[in-house]
C-alpha cells in the first residue's frame, strides 16, 4: 500500500482531486501498433503467395493447440467460473469501479455488451450445434444415450448451454475487473496489460512486458472476430443462394464482407453511443422479435420443455461436462467442440474484457458480473433453446430431413432449412438475414474500437486508428475466406489462445487482491460495505465513491 494514495472525493483545500480518466489525448504506442499491423500484413502477403500452405498450417495449429493445451483450458475455465461466483457473493461484490454514474442505461448496456462478444457466433451455431449433438451424441453420453432420442435432445441442449453460457462470459468478467481497477483506480492506460500491474509491477507493465501482453491480446481477438465475421458471411451467402438464387461464390462473399466493413467502420467512427449502442439496441430488439415469433409459430411446448429440461441437466452435470477430457477413447471430438470453444473465448478475453471495462464504468463488481455472466448467459440459453428446439422438433417430424441437409451442406445450412419448414417463412427468412448482418456489424465495430483503444491507451481513440483497424480486420477476413471453409476460421480463432490462457490465470490471481485494495479505501473508517450497498441495477453517483486509488507516480 506504500505506492497508493487516497484522495477525498470532495478534495482538500488547495488540492485538486485527480481525474481518473485513462488518458485525455491519444498517444499511439507505436511499438505494439505497428507490430500488430505488420503481422496481419505479413499474413495477407503469405496467403497471396501460397494460400494452400497457410490453410494447412492453420489446421495443423488447431490440432496441436487442442492436443497440448485442451485439458489445461478446461480446468482453467472451470476454476474461473468458481472465482466469478465467489466475487458475486462475497464482500467484493459491492465495490464500485470508476466512481461515476454509469454512462448508459441498463438495457442499452446489456445490449451493447451482448452484441460485442460471442452473440454473432450464436446466430451461426444456434440452430446447427444442437442438431449436430442430437444426431451424433457427444462421447460423454454416447454409451448411455441413443442418437435422435429424447435423451439425445436433452444432451444437445446441455452442451449448447455449456459452450455458450456462464463459462465464456466469466472469462470476460475477470479481465474486465482487472482492467477497470488498473485504469480507473490506479491511473494506468486503458489496456489489457494494465490489469497485471500487481503481478508484474507497474514499471514492467509500462515497458515491453506490457507491450507484449497488448500485442498478444490484439492478435488473439482479431483472430476471434475474423472467425465470427467469416462464419456469418458464409451463412449469408448460402442463404442468399438457396433462397433467392444469388450465386454462392467468392465475388458475392467478398461483396457481403466489403459492405459490412463499410458499415461497421462508420459505426465505430460515430462512437459508442451514436454508433455501436444504437445498432446494438436495434439488433437485440429485432432478435427478440424474431425469437418470440419462432416460439409462437414453432413447436412451442417442445421448445419450452426441452429448454427447461436441458438447463436442468446442464446445472446438474456442469462439473462433469466442464472437466471431461475423453481420456480413454481419445475420439478427437473435444478439439472440434468444447476445447475449441474454450480456446475461442480465451482469445476474445482480454480485449472484450477491455470493451466491457470501457462501457461499465460506475457499476459495482456484482452488477458487472451479474450483467455480463447471468443476463447474457440466460439470453443465449433462450436463443439456443428456441432455435435448437425448433430444429430438433422439425427434424423429428420430417424423418431427419434437417440433419441430412446439415450433413450434406454444413452448419451454415441449418437455419434456412429450419425456417423453410415453418409458417411465415417468407417473413422470417428476410428478418433473420437482417439479424445476421447486424450481429456481424455490431461484433466487428466493438472489436475494432477495442483494438484502437489498446493501440492508444485512451477511451476515445482517433478516427484514423479506428479506420486502420477496420481495414485490417476486413482484409484479413477476406484472406481467410479465400483460404476457405468453416474449419479454417475455427483454426484462426484458437491458435493464439495458449498465451491468453496464462494471462487469465494471472488475472484470476490478481483480481481479489486488486478489489481488496479498492474496498479498503472505499469503506469509510473501518466500516465494511454490505451487499445492500450494491443492489443489482442501482446507479449511484461518484459521491458514493469518495476514495480512489491512483498511482503515486506521474503518468509518463
Residue 553 confidence (pLDDT)? 36
Residue 46 confidence (pLDDT)? 83
Q: What is the pLDDT of residues 77-117, one digit of tens each?
A: 999 999 999 999 999 999 999 876 887 888 888 877 877 66
Of 481 and 334, more confident: 334
Whether residue 58 contacts residue 483, with contact meaning beta carbons closer than 8 Å, is answered with yes
The model's confidence at residue 2, banded by pLDDT at 50, 70 and 90, is very low
**Which range in 60-69, 119-128, 295-304, 347-356 is most confidently predicted, on average pLDDT?**
295-304
* Residue 124 within a domain: yes
* Residue 293 within a domain: yes
Residue 117 confidence (pLDDT)? 62
Gap between the Cα atoms of 401 and 417, Å rounded: 9
Alpha helix (H) ranges present in 360-496? Answer: 365-369, 376-397, 401-409, 414-419, 425-456, 463-483, 486-494
The model's confidence at residue 542, banded by pLDDT at 50, 70 and 90, is very low
C-alpha separations of 447 from 7, 250, 251, 266, 323 in Å: 34, 25, 25, 14, 30
Residue 118 confidence (pLDDT)? 64
Mean pLDDT, the chain, whole residue set:
83
When divided into structural domains, the chain yields a total of 1
On the question of pLDDT at 26 being above 70, the answer is no
Dihedral angle computed from the Cα positions of residues 427, 431, 433 and 438, in that order, rounded to the nearest 10 degrees: 170
Residue 492 confidence (pLDDT)? 67
The model's confidence at residue 251, banded by pLDDT at 50, 70 and 90, is very high
Whether residue 356 contacts residue 180, with contact meaning beta carbons closer than 8 Å, is answered with no
Q: What is the pLDDT of residues 254-289, one digit of tens each?
A: 999 999 888 888 887 877 667 777 888 888 899 999
Q: In which residue are the cell numbers 482538500 written?
A: 12
Name the pairing type of β-strands 4-7 and 548-551. antiparallel
* Grid cell locating 335: 478439439
Q: Residue 365: is it exposed, middle or buried by C-beta count within 10 angstroms (0-12/13-18/19+)?
A: buried
* Residue 38 within a domain: no
Question: 348 lies in which domain range?
Answer: 100-169+226-324+333-495
Residues of the chain with pLDDT > 90, as a percent, come to 48
On the question of pLDDT at 6 being above 60, the answer is no
* Residue 251 within a domain: yes
Residue 108 confidence (pLDDT)? 83
Residue 266 confidence (pLDDT)? 84
Residue 550 confidence (pLDDT)? 45
DSSP 8-state class, residue 96: B
* Residue 393 within a domain: yes
* Residue 184 within a domain: no
Helix, strand, coil share (%) of the chain residues, nearest 5 = 75, 0, 25
Other CB atoms within 10 A of residue 375 CB: 17
Residue 181 confidence (pLDDT)? 95
On the question of pLDDT at 320 being above 90, the answer is yes
* Residue 135 within a domain: yes
**Which range in 11-20, 81-90, 280-289, 461-470 is most confidently predicted, on average pLDDT?**
81-90
Q: What is the pLDDT of residues 395-454, one digit of tens each?
A: 999 989 999 999 999 999 999 999 999 999 999 999 999 998 888 888 888 788 888 888
Of 133 and 271, more confident: 133
- Structure pTM? 0.85
DSSP 8-state class, residue 551: E
On the question of pLDDT at 9 being above 70, the answer is no
Of 131, 173, 160, give the one whose Cα is nearest residue 381. 160
* Residue 532 within a domain: no
Gap between the Cα atoms of 341 and 22, Å rounded: 32
Residue 33 confidence (pLDDT)? 80
Amino acid at each position: 500500500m506504500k505506492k497508493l494514495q487516497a484522495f477525498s472525493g470532495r478534495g482538500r483545500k488547495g488540492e485538486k482531486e485527480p481525474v481518473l480518466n485513462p488518458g485525455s489525448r491519444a498517444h499511439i504506442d507505436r511499438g505494439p501498433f505497428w507490430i500488430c499491423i505488420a503481422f496481419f500484413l505479413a499474413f495477407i502477403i503469405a496467403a497471396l503467395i501460397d494460400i494452400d500452405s497457410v490453410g494447412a498450417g492453420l489446421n495443423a495449429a488447431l490440432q496441436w493447440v487442442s492436443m497440448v493445451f485442451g485439458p489445461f483450458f478446461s480446468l482453467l475455465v472451470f476454476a474461473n467460473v468458481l472465482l466469478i461466483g465467489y466475487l458475486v457473493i462475497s464482500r467484493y461484490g459491492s465495490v464500485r469501479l470508476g466512481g461515476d454514474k454509469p454512462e448508459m442505461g441498463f438495457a442499452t448496456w446489456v445490449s451493447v455488451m451482448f452484441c460485442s462478444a460471442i452473440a454473432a457466433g450464436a446466430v451461426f451455431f444456434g440452430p446447427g450445434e444442437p442438431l449436430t449433438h442430437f444426431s451424433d451424441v457427444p462421447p460423454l453420453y454416447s454409451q448411455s444415450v441413443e442418437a435422435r432420442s429424447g435423451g439425445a435432445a436433452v444432451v444437445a441442449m446441455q452442451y449448447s448451454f455449456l459452450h455458450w453460457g456462464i463459462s465464456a462470459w466469466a472469462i470476460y468478467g475477470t479481465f474486465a475487473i482487472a482492467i477497470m481497477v488498473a485504469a480507473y483506480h490506479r491511473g494506468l492506460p486503458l489496456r489489457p496489460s494494465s490489469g497485471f500491474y500487481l503481478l508484474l509491477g507497474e514499471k514492467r507493465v509500462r515497458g515491453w512486458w506490457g507491450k507484449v501482453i497488448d500485442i498478444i491480446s490484439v492478435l488473439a481477438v482479431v483472430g476471434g472476430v475474423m472467425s465470427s465475421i467469416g462464419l456469418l458471411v458464409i451463412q449469408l451467402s448460402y442463404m442468399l443462394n438457396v433462397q433467392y438464387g444469388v450465386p454462392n461464390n467468392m465475388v458475392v462473399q467478398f461483396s457481403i464482407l466489403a459492405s459490412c466493413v463499410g458499415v461497421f467502420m462508420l459505426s465505430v467512427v460515430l462512437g459508442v453511443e451514436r454508433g455501436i449502442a444504437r445498432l446494438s439496441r436495434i439488433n437485440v430488439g429485432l432478435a427478440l422479435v424474431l425469437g418470440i415469433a419462432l416460439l409462437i409459430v414453432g413447436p412451442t411446448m417442445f421448445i419450452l420443455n426441452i429448454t427447461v429440461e436441458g438447463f436442468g441437466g446442464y446445472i446438474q452435470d456442469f462439473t462433469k461436462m466442464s472437466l471431461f477430457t475423453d481420456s480413454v477413447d481419445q475420439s478427437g471430438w473435444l478439439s472440434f467442440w468444447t476445447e475449441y470453444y474454450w480456446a475461442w473465448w480465451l482469445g476474445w478475453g482480454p480485449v472484450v474484457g477491455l470493451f466491457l471495462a470501457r462501457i461499465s464504468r460506475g457499476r459495482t463488481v456484482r452488477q458487472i458480473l451479474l450483467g455480463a455472466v447471468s443476463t447474457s448467459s440466460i439470453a443465449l440459453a433462450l436463443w439456443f433453446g428456441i432455435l435448437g428446439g425448433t430444429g430438433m422438433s422439425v427434424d423429428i417430424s420430417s424423418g431427419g430431413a434437417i440433419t441430412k441437409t446439415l450433413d450434406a451442406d454444413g452448419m451454415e445450412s441449418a437455419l434456412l432449412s429450419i425456417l423453410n419448414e415453418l409458417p411465415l417463412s417468407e417473413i422470417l427468412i428476410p428478418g433473420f438475414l437482417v439479424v445476421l448482418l447486424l450481429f456481424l456489424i455490431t461484433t466487428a465495430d466493438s472489436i475494432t474500437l477495442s483494438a484502437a483503444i489498446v493501440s492508444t491507451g485512451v477511451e476515445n481513440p482517433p478516427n484514423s486508428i479506428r479506420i486502420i483497424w477496420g481495414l485490417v480486420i476486413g482484409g484479413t477476413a477476406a484472406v481467410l475466406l479465400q483460404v476457405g471453409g468453416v474449419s479454417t476460421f475455427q483454426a484462426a480463432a484458437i491458435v493464439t489462445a495458449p498465451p491468453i490462457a496464462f494471462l487469465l490465470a494471472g488475472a484470476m490471481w490478481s483480481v481479489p487482491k486488486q478489489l481488496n485494495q479498492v474496498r479498503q479505501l472505499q469503506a469509510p473508517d473501518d466500516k465494511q460495505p454490505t451487499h445492500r450497498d450494491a443492489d443489482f441495477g442501482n446507479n449511484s453517483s461518484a459521491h458514493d465513491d469518495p476514495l480512489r486509488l491512483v498511482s503515486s507516480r506521474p503518468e509518463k
